[in-house]
Amino acid sequence: MPELPEVETIARGVDARVKGQRILDAWFSSLPQTFKTPPRRQAKALAGREILAVRRMGKHIVCDLGPKSPEERDRVISRSAGAKATLPDAQWIVHLGMTGSLLATTPKAPVAPHTHARLRLTSGMELRFVDPRRFGRLEFRALDRSPAFEPKGAEPLKISPAAFVQLFRGRQLSIKAALLNQWLLSGIGNIYADESLFRAGIRPDRRAGQLTRAELGRLREALRQVLRQAIRLGGSSVSDYVDANGDDGFFQFEHRVYQRTGQPCVSCSTPIRRIELAGRGTHYCPRCQK
DNA sequence: CATTTCACCTGGTGGC
DNA sequence: TGCCACCAGGTGAAAT
Every domain range in chain A assigned CATH 3.20.190.10: 4-142
pLDDT digits (tens, 9 = 90+) for A85-97: 689 999 999 999 9
Record the pTM: 0.93
Confidence class of residue A238 from pLDDT cuts 50, 70 and 90? confident
Does the structure show a pLDDT above 60 at A80? no
Instruction: Give me the CA A279–C1' B4 separation in Å, rounded.
Output: 9
Residues in chain A: 290
Report whether A198 contacts A262 (CB < 8 A).
no
- Write down the pLDDT at residue A239: 76
H-assigned helices in A19-82: 39-46, 70-79
pLDDT digits (tens, 9 = 90+) for A115-143: 999 999 999 999 999 999 999 999 999 99
- Write down the pLDDT at residue A280: 92
Residue A142 CA to residue A192 CA, distance in Å, equals 33
Overall average pLDDT of the A56-71 stretch: 90
Does the structure show a pLDDT above 70 at A83? no
Q: Is the pLDDT higher at A70 or at A57?
A: A57
Cβ of A136 near strand B (distance < 7 A): no
Instruction: Give me the CA A144–C1' C3 separation in Å, rounded.
Output: 55
Strand B bases with any atom < 7 A from protein Cβ = 2-11
Structural domain A161-284, CATH architecture: Orthogonal Bundle (1.10)
Confidence class of residue A71 from pLDDT cuts 50, 70 and 90? low
Cβ of A3 near strand C (distance < 7 A): yes
Instruction: Give me the CA A84–C1' B6 separation in Å, rounded.
Output: 50
Report whether A7 contacts A115 (CB < 8 A).
no
Instruction: Give me the CA A66–C1' B11 separation in Å, rounded.
Output: 38
Cβ of A152 near strand B (distance < 7 A): no
Cβ of A114 near strand B (distance < 7 A): yes
- Write down the pLDDT at residue A1: 81
- Judged by average pLDDT, the poorest of A46-50, A79-83, A143-147 is A79-83
Report whether A226 contacts A258 (CB < 8 A).
no
Specify burial of residue A271 (Cβ count, 10 A radius: 0-12, 13-18, 19+): middle
Strand C bases with any atom < 7 A from protein Cβ = 7-12
Q: Which nucleotide is nearest to A239 (CA to C1')?
A: C8
- Write down the pLDDT at residue A76: 57
Task: Report the catalytic residues of A.
Answer: 2-3, 59, 280
Quote the percentage of chain A above a pLDDT of 70: 94
Q: Domain A4-142: state its class.
A: alpha beta
Q: How many CB atoms lie within 10 A of CB A103?
A: 22
- Judged by average pLDDT, the poorest of A11-15, A77-81, A161-165 is A77-81
Residue A193 host element (H or E): helix A190-200
Confidence class of residue A4 from pLDDT cuts 50, 70 and 90? very high
To the nearest whole number, what is the mean pLDDT of chain A?
Answer: 92
Every domain range in chain A assigned CATH 1.10.8.50: 161-284
- Write down the pLDDT at residue A73: 56
- Return the nearest residue to B3, CA–C1': A173
Overall average pLDDT of the A210-222 stretch: 97
Overall average pLDDT of the A141-161 stretch: 95
Distance between the two ends of chain A, CA-based, in angstroms?
A: 27
